[in-house]
Amino acid sequence: MIKLSLPVQLLLAIVFVLLFGAFIPEWGIRSFYTLSILFKDLLSLLLPFMIFSFVYCGIGSFKQNAPIILAILLITILISNITGAFFSYGAARCLLPNMLQGSAIKQAIAIEHCVEPWFRLPLPMPIPLLWALISSVVMGILSSFVNLSLFDRGVYRVKKVIEYILKYGFIPLLPIYVLGFLLKIYYEKAFYFLFDYYGKVIILLLCLQGLYLMMLYALAKGFVVRKTARAIKNALPSYLAAFSTMSSMIALPVSIAAAKRNIPNRQLANMAMPILANIHLLGAAINLPILALATMIIFEGYIPGLVKYAQFSLYLCTTMFAVSGVPGAGIITLIPLLQSQFIFSSDMISIVTTLYLLLEAFGTAMNAMGDGALIIIVHKILRHLNLGQSDS
């Protein structure tokens, strides 16, 4: 038998949906979507334990250097988020005024047919993800200075069990898992509405996402074309998984596996990727400013100055440390800022919120792909400072 790589399997799932999605009845799509939701809910039960065990073991492997490495990681994330926000502002200021000349706003965007699963199991997440992340960081730093051998053995055993489940359960079934979400997106035709109303803006936004990701990977690989292309290829499964599920956390097992192909330090990948998935939100740093500034041009006819935008971007990047990768959380927490800083009306808020949520798949995919580039940069910084280590 020919064993297809994961990216090929995921691309085949996309092709299948494009070719045959129109022939699958609604009950069939609901059935596939129900399987995907069940799989997602079961994985959600594992996520807090996966985050805790991976981050805890990763921090513990760095011993007394752990606080310094965490500080470098957080500073790098903040710089990356701010850079993405100002990249969006520069592109919007240069391109949007000419693109949107003569544009007329249209009425609300809505999805006519919404697919729902047949049923859902009541599987509440046992521990909030944010608490799992915070406790793993605190306990990991503590274990770097205090002997917690019994606790260490327990956590390492949990980590081994989760790795086994991911390797032999989640990863092999990922194409089937993704298929249900893709069929839902296709059936609802959500993205078709976007191009009818904000077509030029969305094309620009997607181009900026692709350009920024290529620049980030090129920077990570020293602008060597061959190495950059290989790194992007290795990270592609995380993009596809995050796009289909609209969740960086659900795609986390794939992102960690991709990171391990791009850096030799497996412990750093285990520790850093869950943190990046929570607070390194490049998709929001690109999407939110572009959509907000485009709406300001259409309604008000101008773009705010650099000082006012700097205040907005600072709040934006600070908020990213609190939303924990929850789908749609970025726009919800920023609505008060849009109202106070940019004087957005209720109609403007409604349009930006709808567009952002409908584009959530692209933003989340950029988050996951951006995490893969930043982990390479962090690994290089640590190696330059003699704080990193090779594979373990």
Q: Which residues of 64-80 are buried (b: 16+ CB within 10 A; e: fewer)?
A: ebbeebbebbeebbbeb
Quote the distance between the C-alpha of residue 96 and its chain's center: 25
Asked whether residue 216 carries a pLDDT value surpassing 50, the answer given is yes
Q: Could you write out the DSSP letters of every residue in 312-329?
A: HHHHHHHHTTTSTT-TTH
pLDDT of residue 325: 46
Helix H segments across the chain? 6-20, 26-62, 66-99, 129-145, 149-165, 171-188, 190-220, 225-245, 252-262, 266-279, 282-300, 306-319, 329-341, 346-358, 360-384
Q: Which residues contact 294 (CB under 8 A, 6 or more apart)?
A: 92, 96, 100, 198, 201
Q: What is the mean pLDDT of residues 202-225?
A: 93
pLDDT of residue 229: 95
Asked whether residue 320 carries a pLDDT value surpassing 60, the answer given is yes
Asked whether residue 210 carries a pLDDT value surpassing 90, the answer given is yes
Q: Which tens digits make up the pLDDT trace of 168-184?
A: 877 777 788 778 877 88
Asked whether residue 375 carries a pLDDT value surpassing 50, the answer given is yes
Name the more confident of 213 and 279.
Answer: 213
Q: Which tens digits make up the pLDDT trace of 53-107?
A: 887 887 776 677 778 888 898 889 889 989 999 999 999 999 988 887 655 454 4
Asked whether residue 166 carries a pLDDT value surpassing 70, the answer given is yes
Residue with tokens 């996966």: 50
Domain annotation for the chain: domains and CATH numbers = 6-104+115-384 (1.10.3860.10)
CB 240 within 8 A of CB 160: no
Burial of 326 (0-12, 13-18, 19+ CB in 10 A): middle
Q: Which tens digits make up the pLDDT trace of 110-157?
A: 455 677 888 887 777 677 766 887 888 888 888 877 877 888 889 889
pLDDT of residue 59: 75
**Mean pLDDT for the chain?**
81
Closest alpha carbon to 17 in 153, 204, 152, 179: 179
pLDDT of residue 112: 54
Q: What is the mean pLDDT of residues 7-32?
A: 83
pLDDT of residue 109: 46
Closest alpha carbon to 200 in 284, 282, 294, 299: 294
pLDDT of residue 17: 83
What's the residue count for the chain? 392
Q: What is the mean pLDDT of residues 225-245?
A: 91
Asked whether residue 195 carries a pLDDT value surpassing 70, the answer given is no
Q: Which residues contact 82 (CB under 8 A, 6 or more apart)?
A: 285, 313, 314, 317
pLDDT of residue 319: 65
Q: What is the mean pLDDT of residues 321-325?
A: 53
- State the DSSP code for 146: S
Q: What is the mean pLDDT of residues 278-288?
A: 85
Q: What is the mean pLDDT of residues 241-256?
A: 83
Out of 222-231, 255-264, 381-390, pick the least confident: 381-390
Asked whether residue 280 carries a pLDDT value surpassing 60, the answer given is yes
pLDDT of residue 106: 45
- State the DSSP code for 101: T
Identify the band that residue 346 occupies on the pLDDT scale cut at 50, 70 and 90. Answer: low
pLDDT of residue 135: 86
Q: Tell me, what amino acid is at 126?
A: P
Asked whether residue 237 carries a pLDDT value surpassing 80, the answer given is yes
Asked whether residue 236 carries a pLDDT value surpassing 70, the answer given is yes
- State the DSSP code for 117: -
Q: Which of 67-71, 118-122, 343-347, 367-371 tops mean pLDDT? A: 367-371
pLDDT of residue 47: 77
Q: Tell me, what amino acid is at 162?
A: I
Closest alpha carbon to 308 in 296, 320, 324, 322: 296
Instruction: List the Cα angle 88/89/94 in 5-degree steps.
Output: 100
- Helix 66-99 crosses helix 266-279 at what angle (to 10 degrees)? 50
pLDDT of residue 215: 95
pLDDT of residue 41: 80
